[in-house]
Amino acid sequence: MLFHNPAVILFKPYSHIHDFLQRFTLLKIGQLHVRLHKLTDKDRTNLFHSHPFHYLSVVLRGGYEERFICGKTQKTKFARHGRFSFISRNGNVLHRIEEVQKDTITLFFAFGNFGWRAVNPKQDNSRDGVYHRNVLGKILWSKRENEIWFMGHPTKEAAEKEYRHSIHQI
């Protein structure tokens, strides 16, 4: 039966990004993930980020503004998305959310798993290093390079070797 298949997930909360994004899984089958997203704030860093998958997002309520990097020239473009906008991107597009209307909700379709990237166009490495930081109530060691945080670990040694960016950049 469909409902007893561990590869299929229906109606389940998905990991939230505190003070930024609330997520709820409607359906997950293999690499296809259908979620409701409630955007609660804009990106609070200078970083542009990609998603580890291709996606289609449909704005159901509210709207948002974003800036994204075009091609290898690092030029940026601005886009405004309102109710019923369709936003389709592949996993290589670097973007950042600049403004969010109150109660913005999107229907989000994701497919694939390609790895997450972040870039800082300002290239500030003045605070590079490995630090203790609070991530969702846990104190972890985390590496910081060019204002980009990497995934946290219980030991400093493990944090120094980490190459995967954290989704928690504040």
- What confidence tens digit (pLDDT) does each residue in 19-69 have? 889 999 999 998 999 999 999 999 888 888 888 899 999 999 999 999 998
Q: In this structure, which amino acid lies at residue 58?
A: V
Q: How many domains does the chain have?
A: 2
Residues 160 and 127 in one domain: yes
Residues 23 and 80 in one domain: yes
**Residues in contact with 131: Cβ distance below 8 Å, sequence separation at least 6, in sequence order:** 141, 142, 144
A 10 A CB-CB count for 30 gives 8
| The pLDDT of residue 5 | 60
| The pLDDT of residue 170 | 73
What CATH number did the domain enclosing 29 receive? 2.60.120.10
Range of the domain at 114: 2-119
pTM score of the predicted model: 0.75
